[in-house]
Structure 1
């Protein structure tokens, strides 16, 4: 690249940045630009590097932060540019001190300046140098653009880029209906950590991955659509060492790859809309001709003549996470796409999936090779069904850490009408079962108990009056007097009306429990030792749980 740090500060995004230490080293020459989003990036540097980083890989490692500038100086790097605000509020004092001591320029990147704002102008300057063969490179870009616009597809693009880089190129895909291209090699999939690195970097980065069972240096370029990772293009160092232009080639190529992926995504979305329309009629029970519905299902390779267990899955984002989302509607749409792929994988591609309002609905058929196992009359065991639901909950929670899931399971019914009944119960299990879902996040309709009866009530006037006459009085008293009578009653019933056990769980004396129960009787007129009155209090507590969960 051959530009001094001082001159680089007058180019592109660096104009808005400032040198905060090591001003005496501004004469150093920049030949390469590297982004540090992995801890061991130092060993990839060639000398005369400008290193861009948010310090994310080492933000919690004080020792690594203290050694960073010394290590960069030792390998002959030219400058360090740090983006503050997101992961570190300010450049650590140890880095400032080392920069001044070693005359090593430290640059603070303005919050509004992206890595690409810095890299692209500097790369363009390098391409203006005749010895880099800019004209030949542009002809190559024109060639691969014509391949893409001519509909030659991903394989033709891969072959062209392999000729340009003289190294093996592979394409990874997160989409089940778009297979990756391995160029005849065995490629280990990206790890979760590597995927996170790519999503943070949002550009090509150096990595080491397994190619043909050997750890191989590579450049990995993420294919991101709406900040979701849909795939990657990887250039493997198999024939020659990487040069700076390889990064530029991959960054230009990924845009063309994205067009190919968008074609597949658009086609999948259109097909999913047709699927959703058909299944909506089945789920709502709007079936006039069973034969016609079954025949339509065959267009999607479904056999709706079989019997299915119905699962409903809903999710919400934590409030702390949604505050960071610029376009929440778009973010949720991308999340639904990714979840459909994950759910399809969890249920072993043996399920029919649809999105109905805020729920992902799963129609699961067992062919005898997997859970849930079938007993008499092809009826799945409830325990096996719950095992499958809890496994799905764990996998989804692990894959989407920023989301909270609830799974509802309906009872098993046969036939198309059975899908309708199972769907109603699965959704009802979610709506009414959150108070009893516990750590598993899964609720079977059969486990709703009295909630199944309450859920059938269409006129809540009498229920509201019952609540007001019982638990409502306790809630009002607790709020006015900073008391805990409602919680005391709930724990007393949970302890099977044992004074000593409930007192122990509430960390109070037995006499305190007796006093509170007397106060509850005084306020509600219900003696906990009277079976009829105790039932009213039980019902009031159930209604209170429904009120707290927002289902009344």
Structure 2
């Protein structure tokens, strides 16, 4: 049970404060007390709130100040108490006017009165008023704890909470092994914005969601593990309106739900480790007995006698992460787990799933070529243009980028081969596409091994002694000359080859005169001893540039 604003003005620190507007609303009931620390605090309010603020978060935003009282009134808040002197000398007239017009109490907090002077006495009074419900709540908490410790599982917990709240309870899950429970109700999934809202709030908040095609008020409690959202517990207003104890019930229940989720996640992690270790032999080509490997694969419901298209996904922090994390290692571990869940969801068709494994911070996807062809996702035979394959890779990259904005992704694709040996070869090529694709060809996002061109050959070289000597005899001389003379012969030569050896087009791209280009080409010939008019020498220069790109990429 709450207290009226009028009663509150006779308690604790509010005794030394005064109502400066909206006296007609003194009958409003206060159930919650909130401090305004961020500009968009309105979204976190539950209704019947007393909002305490210095106006600091919006002091330089006249529009936000002008809308504040109306917004509080619209969400069913009780009163606004503003601390003056520190950031605002007096309560803005626009707030006074809105308070009187809406009958919404505006309270001025004296400078010497702290927020705690107001909050503590009011909370004590409210707790004393709710003593009659304490015993019932404690019995309920004991009951659900016994259910959880007794291994009754999530359905039993939901049933108990439904009895307590008298409303429908559903559980949403982002863990495939732990499907959400909706009691034959059609529940709209949380939107991306709603998920972000829950991650930020880290507590139960009011929302409007769709239940059985009807927009329904609800309380949504996030199920967080290491600050990652793995699910939600939602109480739908289907029978009675919400009261404060519903929030307490959900907050306590979600802790027990989290234990159930943690059991499943831990079991999934262990199973994933076994999968990773097993597939490591296949990916590295260390298969001694193919029949034995195929038989072992059946333990995970894999049919390794079929043919697979290999995708490899590399991920890393963006140059400027959206959020700084205190424990970067733990955060990245959780990101990896959520990534695996999302990748599993993306590479799924009908009842079949792709084989997903992790190797050296890369996510490897073995996509069943035959089943994908039957589903119309990929051609079974070789696709000359690799169009469908790259469309699928780009779709996956785009979905991952949207879900994990703080990470950047590159997808490498190998050529399609058959059998276990084909998995090994496709994996090698997909990794090479990632290693060489972005730094060498400048491609980002998705790279197919076939698009590497001559680098497919250079990337296979194991002994680089001859290559380095060729580089030193040609391009290495240009690099040294440019450094010593502050010149740009390397850039000139690259552009020359990029423009099909056209002096005019290269001059236009470099914004220089054709005569300047002629002089630079003569200088290149003088420094390297290689003429671009000699086919053999021109090839040496071209190869030298390619070797330079590989050396610069660090993939030797």
Scaled by the length of structure 1, what TM-score is found?
Answer: 0.83
Match of 2:549 among 540, 545, 548: 545
- What corresponds to 1:15 in structure 2? none
Report the CA distance shift for 1:460/1:146 in structure 2 as closer, same or farther (over 3 A). same
- What corresponds to 2:274 in structure 1? 274
Q: Is the 8 A contact 2:48 2:77 kept in 1?
A: yes
Report the CA distance shift for 1:189/1:95 in structure 2 as closer, same or farther (over 3 A). farther
Match of 1:375 among 364, 381, 391: 381
Q: Is the 8 A contact 1:409 1:443 kept in 2?
A: yes
Q: Is the 8 A contact 1:127 1:133 kept in 2?
A: no
User: Are 1:522 and 2:526 an aligned pair?
Assistant: yes
- What corresponds to 1:290 in structure 2? 290
Q: Is the 8 A contact 2:412 2:431 kept in 1?
A: yes
User: Are 1:474 and 2:478 an aligned pair?
Assistant: yes
Q: Which segment drifts farther, 143-152 or 520-529?
A: 520-529
> Which SS does the other structure have where 1:406 is aligned?
strand
Report the CA distance shift for 1:435/1:455 in structure 2 as closer, same or farther (over 3 A). same
User: Are 1:32 and 2:32 an aligned pair?
Assistant: yes
Q: Is the 8 A contact 2:167 2:235 kept in 1?
A: yes
In the TM superposition, what whole-angstrom CA distance separates every residue of 1:81-120 from its partner, at most 9, and x where no partner exists? 99xxxxxxx9899987867997545899xxxxxxxxx999
User: How far 1:297 moved relative to its partner?
Assistant: 0.7
- What corresponds to 2:231 in structure 1? 231
- What corresponds to 1:85 in structure 2? none
Report the CA distance shift for 1:54/1:500 in structure 2 as closer, same or farther (over 3 A). farther
- What corresponds to 2:366 in structure 1? 363
Q: Which segment drifts farther, 217-226 or 507-516?
A: 507-516
Report the CA distance shift for 1:64/1:322 in structure 2 as closer, same or farther (over 3 A). closer
- What corresponds to 2:403 in structure 1? 399
Report the CA distance shift for 1:32/1:328 in structure 2 as closer, same or farther (over 3 A). same
Report the CA distance shift for 1:43/1:150 in structure 2 as closer, same or farther (over 3 A). closer
Q: Is the 8 A contact 1:204 1:220 kept in 2?
A: yes
In the TM superposition, what whole-angstrom CA distance separates every residue of 1:124-162 from its partner, at most 9, and x where no partner exists? 874344445111111111111111111111111111111
User: How far 1:507 moved relative to its partner?
Assistant: 3.0
User: How far 1:266 moved relative to its partner?
Assistant: 0.6
- What corresponds to 2:103 in structure 1? none
For residues 284 and 489 of structure 2, the distance between their equivalents in structure 1, rounded to whole angstroms, comes to 43
In the TM superposition, what whole-angstrom CA distance separates every residue of 1:314-361 from its partner, at most 9, and x where no partner exists? 111124218712222222211111111221222224311100111111
Give the alignment of 1:252-271 within 5 angstroms.
252-271=252-271
For residues 54 and 277 of structure 1, the distance between their equivalents in structure 2, rounded to whole angstroms, comes to 57
> Which SS does the other structure have where 1:321 is aligned?
coil
Q: Which segment drifts farther, 25-34 or 513-522?
A: 25-34
For residues 501 and 449 of structure 1, the distance between their equivalents in structure 2, rounded to whole angstroms, comes to 24
User: How far 1:269 moved relative to its partner?
Assistant: 0.6
- What corresponds to 2:426 in structure 1? 422
For residues 415 and 266 of structure 2, the distance between their equivalents in structure 1, rounded to whole angstroms, comes to 35
Q: Is the 8 A contact 1:407 1:441 kept in 2?
A: yes
Report the CA distance shift for 1:282/1:520 in structure 2 as closer, same or farther (over 3 A). same
Higher alpha-carbon Rg: 2
Q: Which segment drifts farther, 512-521 or 393-402?
A: 512-521
- What corresponds to 1:115 in structure 2? none
Q: Is the 8 A contact 2:59 2:88 kept in 1?
A: no
For residues 486 and 322 of structure 2, the distance between their equivalents in structure 1, rounded to whole angstroms, comes to 33
- What corresponds to 1:18 in structure 2? none
Match of 2:499 among 480, 495, 500: 495
Query: What's the Cα RMSD here?
Result: 3.9
Match of 2:540 among 531, 536, 543: 536
Report the CA distance shift for 1:507/1:105 in structure 2 as closer, same or farther (over 3 A). farther
- What corresponds to 2:513 in structure 1? 509
In the TM superposition, what whole-angstrom CA distance separates every residue of 1:398-449 from its partner, at most 9, and x where no partner exists? 2222111111112222211221122112112211222356565222222222
In the TM superposition, what whole-angstrom CA distance separates every residue of 1:43-89 from its partner, at most 9, and x where no partner exists? 97644523799999x9998633542146437966334699xxxxxxx
For residues 269 and 488 of structure 1, the distance between their equivalents in structure 2, rounded to whole angstroms, comes to 53
Q: Is the 8 A contact 1:310 1:362 kept in 2?
A: yes
User: Are 1:166 and 2:142 an aligned pair?
Assistant: no
User: How far 1:542 moved relative to its partner?
Assistant: 1.6
In the TM superposition, what whole-angstrom CA distance separates every residue of 1:148-202 from its partner, at most 9, and x where no partner exists? 1111111111111111112111111111111111122111001111111111111
In the TM superposition, what whole-angstrom CA distance separates every residue of 1:14-63 from its partner, at most 9, and x where no partner exists? xxxxxxxx96559998531469899694797644523799999x999863
> Which SS does the other structure have where 1:190 is aligned?
coil
For residues 515 and 492 of structure 1, the distance between their equivalents in structure 2, rounded to whole angstroms, comes to 13
> Which SS does the other structure have where 1:268 is aligned?
helix
For residues 452 and 107 of structure 1, the distance between their equivalents in structure 2, rounded to whole angstroms, comes to 75
- What corresponds to 2:50 in structure 1? 49
Q: Which segment drifts farther, 390-399 or 265-274?
A: 390-399
Q: Is the 8 A contact 1:375 1:381 kept in 2?
A: no
- How many positions carry a matched residue from both structures? 522
User: How far 1:478 moved relative to its partner?
Assistant: 4.1
Give unmatched runs, 5+ long, in structure 2.
Answer: 100-105, 112-117
- What corresponds to 1:111 in structure 2? none
User: How far 1:486 moved relative to its partner?
Assistant: 2.2
Q: Is the 8 A contact 1:372 1:380 kept in 2?
A: no
